[in-house]
Amino acid sequence: MKISYIKSFALAGIMLFSASACKKVLEPELTYAIEASRLKTIIDFERVLNGGYAFMRNDGYYRFGYTGGGDVGTDNMIETTASLGNNRSLAQWFYNSGSAGVSRLWSSPYQVINQANAVLDNIDNLVETAPGQKNRIRGQAIALRALAHFDLMRFFAVEYDRNSPALGVAIKTKSEATFPPRSTVKECYDFIYKDLTEAEELLGDVDVAVNGIRKTRLDIHGVRALRARVSLYAKEWADAKDYADKVIAGSGINLGSISGSIGVGLTASAINNTTSFQSVWFNDLNSGVETIFAVAFNVGQGAPGNFPNDGVNAFTVSSDWRGLFTGTPTNDVRFNVTYNGAASPAAASYQKFSGRFNGTSIARDGNVDVKVFRIAEMYLIRAEANFNLGNNTDARSDIRTLRLNRINAYDPLTDNVADILANIQLERRKELVGEGHRWFDAKRYNLSFDRGAAPGQGDCPSTAPDCSIQAGDYRFVYPIPLGEIQANPAMKSQQNPGW
């Protein structure tokens, strides 16, 4: 009698094992592996590469885990009564190494890595019909691999310092079944920077443009944006500034505007204006601004996990986040795009990633691209880098430029931006809410979260076991999933502290 089961999916791919009555475990055989002889033409490789992009739509990746999942456990968002509790453990900090949500956050990026490695393992078989084809495919695959490894570090690495000897994540360089140990944070950064350097070089010499209007593939500007973000976390301030500069100056992508007749309202004319901030969120098929790289979502491909297809919100913005907009909140286009105060919290109050404008209304179906890199983030990265380099004038200038494109009747001449870092942190919360940055910013800045005095008060849910989490708490570093620890002998002594 034989049985089959899935084991260590993340690092080894999908593998089939057999066990006899004496429970002897045989050598694993990959059932997903791609025969090298079948990959020859550009179409063959594009299909495999497209699979890597498709895996980014998984619930454990950019459908929710690395977007909403980076906000629901913070002071930016709260769970609503419409939630089915699927991500409650992440939101209320009571996850552990056996939590399904944690396991998805670990395994989903490794699916992308495996797909990218399948391309790279066989890329020498590609018979080019035009110079630059191989560069285009290889460059994107390397960029995907770098992004997925870095994203894993954000949740699972013990710390972010560039040369830290603390544990990072397991590095995968082949699509075959391997069980590597966790590398150090320094080794992970070394690997990611190497991949980014190569990807940038390759994608600077391609046969055709990687992207059209919809930026749903990692081109050279996406690679540079990723490098700016990586260097921000690593505190490589000069490199972060340099690469943010390159994207701002060379990508041709501008900040979404509110100038002229566009205004800050969520009107049909504003949404249909391809230079507006509103178009980025509700008309992304035609928007020509802000987006550097997004994960494509089309009909039938699901919807962001904090916005179920039945049109309700599992999560919405917190009262703490709404309180960031003093005076008249609706003077800021970000408030209007994100929150509808006239709607019930569970039904239609949270609007980011809700859907595309259909000519008369905004569809509440989640059918909209999930933004991974935007030009606004590059301005914020450059401002933070300049602040840490002592270039305060330049840091203030970027903050003012962003506010000028977001706040009605904003006067940069009267805004002295006295506390630069506090203002950068404020603008990151306002600008990037729901896009998966706040949890990691708290780790970088060593922040704590306080939602209320007791469950059911303030932003603290009545079901919450805790209403606050202190800076440096072990829960800010997610546990390596129990299934991975059990399946991979190299990780048995490599669990994160506190778990």
pLDDT tens track for 95-131? 999 999 999 999 999 999 999 999 999 999 999 999 9
Residue 219 lies in a domain: yes
Alpha-carbon gap, residue 288 to 275, rounded angstroms: 6
pLDDT score of 271 more than 80: yes
pLDDT score of 311 more than 90: no
Residue 256 lies in a domain: yes
Residue 442 lies in a domain: no
Residue 414 lies in a domain: yes
Phi then psi dihedrals of residue 194, to 5 deg: -60, -45
Residue 19 lies in a domain: no
Alpha-carbon gap, residue 349 to 303, rounded angstroms: 17
Which amino acid, one-letter code, is at 401?
Answer: T
Planar angle of CA 467, 472, 473, nearest 5 degrees = 45
Helix (H, G, I), strand (E, B) or coil at 298: coil
Lowest mean pLDDT: which of 37-46, 137-146, 402-411? Answer: 37-46
Place of tokens 């004319």: 269
Residue 92 lies in a domain: yes
Which amino acid, one-letter code, is at 120?
Answer: L
Give alpha helix (H) positions in 286-388.
319-322, 333-338, 375-388
Structure tokens at 152: 């894993």
| 486-496 per-position pLDDT tens digit | 999 999 999 99
Relative to beta strand 449-450, strand 468-469 is: antiparallel
- The residue range of the domain holding 229 is 36-437
Planar angle of CA 320, 323, 324, nearest 5 degrees = 100
Return the number of other C-beta atoms located less than 10 Å from residue 337's C-beta: 24
Residue 176 lies in a domain: yes
Q: What is the CATH number of the domain that holds 237?
A: 1.25.40.390
Residues in a beta bridge with 294: 371
Relative to beta strand 77-79, strand 315-317 is: antiparallel
E-state strands within 236-325? 291-295, 315-317
Sequence-ordered list of residues with C-beta below 8 angstroms from that of 390, at least 6 positions apart, any chain = none
pLDDT score of 436 more than 50: yes
| 296-309 per-position pLDDT tens digit | 998 888 888 777 66
Per the structure, the count of domains in the chain is 1
Residue 347 lies in a domain: yes
Stretch 403-416: mean pLDDT, rounded?
97
